[in-house]
Amino acid sequence: MKKHPHYGHVIKSRVSSALWQAILDRCARTGETPDHVIQSALAAELDIKHHTLFQVSTSTALVQGIYNGCMTVEEIKKHGDFGLGTFDELDGEGIMFDGEVWHARSDGSVVLAANDELAPFWATTTFVSQVSCALSVVSSWDDLCQQLDQMRSSQNIFTSICIKGVFKHIQYRVACKAEQGIDLVSATNNQAVFELNDCRGTLVGFWTPAYAKTLNVPGYHLHLLSDDKRFGGHVLSLSATNLQLMLAEETDFKIALPESADFLQADLNIDPSEALAKAEGAK
């Protein structure tokens, strides 16, 4: 057994002819790879449930202004302990960390989200770190992205990201409540923007492959939660030293689609990339 330079371990093992044939039969039936079948079987046998990214709705639906909540926080918690999203009518930013869901509001406050709160969009996983290292200096958002690029093993796999430490400076936004149907770019023109110095906290989020742009925000998407739970929101820019980075690949993807009339009738065939870049970036 040897360790992959970025992710996990490579195991060499003999299996019976009958077991190997069963694996091949499963692959032929489902389209899975042998690696995936073996890892899934081991995870099930050892009762390890991770590396599945569960998502509520799509980024394209958000771009089109479909903000009505469609799943409760209580239900989302059944699918993971780590993630981010937003709340009914785009009312603030959501941060999920260590199994708790926090609601960052546009007035700057952060509260523990109630189980019956609704989310129109959310991404969650059970976070189990596969890569852990220190980031000695982060000079900007672009610099952070470039460093993270060096840590990922593939351009085609969703990646969960957790970064802890003291942020010398961090700028973040919190979306303000918006009416259903107002497009995301227009809605986030009214976002509340905050800045902090010497903030001790955690960044929670994901990297999404470009091919999945109609499902989630392509590239890096991170939310801040301060250690004292007083501050939080969607990260726009930052600088820091001596940060702790943890990454995990999410090789399974599951999505729950809304069944509302707005979603069913929406035109989701657009390319949301430009709108997402405007809505998610600094103004």
Residue-wise pLDDT for 193-239, tens only, equals 999 999 999 999 999 999 999 999 999 999 999 999 999 999 999 99
Same domain, 61 and 13: no
Same domain, 115 and 233: yes
Average confidence score pLDDT of the chain:
91
Same domain, 134 and 258: yes
pLDDT of 59 over the 70 cut: yes
Same domain, 86 and 153: yes
Residue at 260: amino acid letter: S
Which H, E and C letters describe the chain, residue by residue?
CEECCCCCEECCCCCCHHHHHHHHHHHHHHCCCHHHHHHHHHHHHCCCCCCEEEEECCHHHHHCCCCCCCEEHHHHHCCCCEEEEECHHHCCEEEEECCEEEEECCCCCEEECCCCCEECEEEEECCCCCEEEEEEEECCHHHHHHHHHHHCCCCCCEEEEEEEEEEEEEEEEECCCCCCCCCHHHHHCCCEEEEEEEEEEEEEEEEECHHHCCCCCCEEEEEEEECCCCCEEEEEEEEEEEEEEEEEEECEEEEECCCCHHHHHCCCCCCCHHHHHHHHCCC
Same domain, 253 and 196: yes
Same domain, 63 and 25: no
Same domain, 25 and 145: no
Could you tell me the residue range of the domain that residue 23 belongs to? 2-45
Per residue in 235-283, pLDDT tens? 999 999 999 999 999 989 999 999 999 999 999 999 999 999 988 886 5
Same domain, 94 and 228: yes
Same domain, 40 and 61: no
Same domain, 75 and 112: yes
Same domain, 89 and 206: yes
Same domain, 37 and 56: no
